[in-house]
Amino acid sequence: MELAEAELGLALWWAEVSARAGTGWRRQERQAWRLARKAARRTRDPAASGARIRRRRAELASQLRRSAPHESAAASPRSKPGVCNASVLACGHERRMRVVMVLPEPPYLEGGAAGRCNAGLLLGLQADERIELSAIAARLPRALNGAVPSRIAVEMIPVPWQDRSQAWSDLVRRPLGYLSRGDFGDRVRQLAAGADVLHLDQAQTAWCNLGTDVPSVVHLHYLARLDQPRLPRNPRAAAWRFAVAAAQRRAAQRYRFLVANSTAVASELRRDAPNADVTVVPLVLDPEHYELSHDGGEPVVGFIGTGDWPMTAAAAHRLVERVWPLVRREVPTARLRVAGRCMDRLGLRTEDGMEIQGAVLSGAAFMRDVSVLVFPPVGGSGTKVKVLEAMASGLPVVTNAIGAEGIAENDGVVVAEEDDELARAAVSILRDPEERKQRGAAGLQAFREGHSPEVAAGMLFELYSRMTSSG
């Protein structure tokens, strides 16, 4: 027993000295705990020794939590006195809240839907003087090409292909847990050692909290089981859908704090995890990236999305086959432009006035050259980024309740359910330039009020404060 207590005392002394020097008490405390457990296993009564170690560790942890932030704040180069941090006000010293955001893909302004939204969110969090943000993003082998704006500070970590045998094993043990391993997982744990909050974006990063003791929250943009109630016939697509659904379900069960972008997704999460704290935070975009739509007077209907996403593909087929013929009959001079990756592979039938563009260099530029966005989804969950982009561009939108999920009711987004109702709304906007102008302005105003980076950052800071004060 003497050996265990001696090594424990030495380790705890090391942790306390390190904390007072400002090097981060959490990491040192974990190292001390591992050393003490190793010593306990060499004693005759490891159970009794372990109990004493846990009591001693709890005492020291309490002392360090009271003293370390206060005594190291002046020495730490990351602390800025005079800036409010709700997590440490009780210590008598104010500093910014340290938040680590973990992203499964780069925050490109012209990348994936989640990446575009995360770019806006990072800008909002970086601009908040109460938050000190560190962001890390995974760059997978098949990630879209792009460039992170110079205004966004994010660390990019290349992630290699996951071993196939490990991937199949993860389906049961740790679905979508590949980012928690290797260099990316190690770097997340390094950053988390000095953080107050760990913000994990989507199910792919939900396992990255393993090995940390920081209050953590998982941000789920959608739910796979709502998007695809039935498994796809393609084995690879079926395995991916199963993995995503399993990872999202496990995240809801494992985490106390969850973030959703719509009340519909939040309700499902509360049903899965009745004791979880679920916060609805709207999706945001970088408003500076979007220019106002050019209304050249020509009646042009636009549709944009990723064709290999089942929900987008189904919406494209519905528009082309059921809604567009009704619009064309009423406005013979109207044109339809369908753009997006893999859209040219869907086998959409083309008629007079239709153009299948496929991938475009800029979705924002596409929005500027059409008169109205028509998006009639038949399923899906979460906020639809294409609708937000149209609003940010001052472009009127015609969609249904699924397409308007997560967006406050406004005159810039016309909601209709049946094919003929969608067509009538589109025809009315195409025929009346003044209506286009008014609805576009209304949508832009709603975007600025409800989906700007500052709005989401403020809501997240309130959540972070609640997390750090809840213990």
Query: pLDDT in tens for each of the 471 residues of the chain?
Result: 444 455 555 555 454 544 444 444 455 555 555 555 565 555 545 544 555 555 655 555 555 444 444 333 333 333 333 334 444 443 444 689 999 999 999 999 998 999 999 999 999 999 999 999 999 999 998 777 788 989 999 999 999 987 777 777 777 789 999 999 999 999 999 999 999 999 999 999 999 999 999 999 999 999 999 887 666 677 777 888 888 999 999 999 999 999 999 999 999 999 999 999 999 999 999 999 999 988 777 899 999 999 988 899 999 999 999 999 999 999 999 999 999 999 988 999 887 789 998 889 899 999 999 999 999 999 999 999 999 999 999 999 999 999 999 999 999 999 999 999 999 999 999 999 999 999 999 999 999 999 999 999 999 999 999 999 986
**Structure tokens of 58?**
């709890």
The 3-state DSSP class for residue 371 equals coil
294: number of Cβ within 10 Å? 14
CA dist., res. 421 & res. 137, Å (int): 42
CA dist., res. 416 & res. 401, Å (int): 7
CA dist., res. 374 & res. 38, Å (int): 64
92: number of Cβ within 10 Å? 10
Task: Describe the strand order of the beta sheet including 372-375 as a list of residue ranges.
Answer: 354-358, 335-339, 300-304, 372-375, 397-399, 413-415
CA dist., res. 240 & res. 64, Å (int): 44
CA dist., res. 381 & res. 171, Å (int): 23
Per-residue confidence (pLDDT) for residue 80, from 0 to 100 = 34
Contact 201, 103 (CB under 8 A): yes
pTM: 0.79
| Sequential DSSP letters for 126-170 | HH-TTEEEEEEEEE-TTPPP----TT---EEEE-PPPPHHHHHHH
Tokens 């591992």 sit on residue: 34
**Structure tokens of 99?**
């938040």
Tokens 């003044």 sit on residue: 434
CA dist., res. 186 & res. 193, Å (int): 11
Comparing CA positions, the residue from 210, 220, 193 lying closest to residue 104 is 220
Length of the chain counted residue by residue: 471
CA dist., res. 50 & res. 41, Å (int): 8
Per-residue confidence (pLDDT) for residue 274, from 0 to 100 = 95
CA dist., res. 388 & res. 397, Å (int): 9
Residue 148: HSE in the Cβ half-sphere, 13 Å Cα cutoff: 19
One-letter amino acid for residue 461 of the chain: F
**Structure tokens of 8?**
């424990």
Strands 97-103, 131-139: pairing kind: parallel
**Structure tokens of 73?**
């704040």
Task: Find all residues with CB under 8 Å of 22, minimum gap 6, and list them.
Answer: 71, 72, 73, 75, 76
Per-residue confidence (pLDDT) for residue 170, from 0 to 100 = 76
365: number of Cβ within 10 Å? 13
Comparing CA positions, the residue from 109, 104, 201, 197 lying closest to residue 148 is 109
